[in-house]
Amino acid sequence: MPEEENEVLRDVEEEVKRVLRERRVKPVARKPLTVRYFKSIEQVSEKPLEKLLEDGILLIALREDSMSRVKPLIEKLAERVKEVNGDIYLVRWPSLLIAGDKARIEVHEPGS
C-alpha cells in the first residue's frame, strides 16, 4: 500500500478512536421510566393517553365486580392505545410489578 493510503487509514483510525473515547466519557442521559398505577379503569378514560404513555407504562387495576361492565371500557381503551401505537396486555391477577432504581411509580387513587 502506498504511504498516502496508510496515512489516510491512520487518520481515519485516530478519528474513530477519538469519537469512541468521547462517547465513553459522556454518559447518556435517560429519562426515568414512569409506571402509573390506576386503581380504576374509569380514571384512565378521562386522561390524554399520549401524555400518560410518553415516558412510561400504565398499570390499571380491574377490580370491578362485573367484567361485563368494564369490557366496553377495555375495548375503548384498546382502540385508543392502537391510535397512539402503544401495546396493551391483560395481566393475570394477582401480579407483581418490580421496578428498578431508575423507574418511578405513581399511584392514582379513584377520585384523584
Confidence of residue 63 (pLDDT cuts 50, 70, 90): confident
State the pTM of this model.
0.60
Read off the C-alpha cell for 109: 387513587
Read off the C-alpha cell for 37: 398505577
pLDDT at res. 25: 67
Phi/psi for 98 (5° steps) reads -115, 125
The answer to whether 73 and 45 have CB atoms below 8 angstroms apart is: yes
pLDDT beyond 60 at 1 = no
pLDDT at res. 28: 61
State how far the Cα of 9 lies from the Cα of 97, in Å rounded to an integer. 51
